[in-house]
């Protein structure tokens, strides 16, 4: 079975506000606000290019493939709160 692909809503679906090292994200489609830290904003930005697997996303973020399991777990957490979805 192929690795799942993850995607995000278009940029206009999120309102971002920097808060002293954190980021407040207002997700317009759900009406929910999330307070996140790095690397969540970077993950969301990298997924704006197109849907991809955790391994491919890790390459976009770091240039390496080691550690994709940890990133996959983080993507599943973001999926659970509605900030990413499976494409």
Rounded (10°) angle between helices 40-47 and 54-62 = 110
> In the prediction, which pLDDT does 33 show?
97
> 19: Cβ–Cβ under 8 A, 6 or more apart, which residues?
35
Q: What's the full length of the chain, in residues?
A: 87
Q: pLDDT, tens digit, for every residue of 17-73?
A: 999 999 999 999 999 999 999 999 999 999 999 999 999 999 999 999 888 999 999
CA distance 7 to 2: 16
- Has residue 77 got a pLDDT over 90? yes
Determine contact, residues 53/43, Cβ cutoff 8 Å: no
């Amino acid at each position: 079975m192929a690795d799942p692909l993850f995607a995000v809503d278009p940029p206009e679906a999120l309102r971002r506000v920097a808060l002293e090292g954190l980021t407040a994200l207002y997700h317009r489609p759900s009406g929910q606000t999330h307070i996140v830290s790095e690397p969540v904003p970077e993950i969301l930005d990298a997924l704006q290019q197109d849907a991809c697997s955790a391994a491919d996303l890790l390459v976009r973020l770091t240039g390496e493939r080691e550690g994709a399991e940890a990133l996959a777990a983080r993507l599943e957490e973001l999926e659970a709160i509605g900030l990413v979805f499976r494409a």
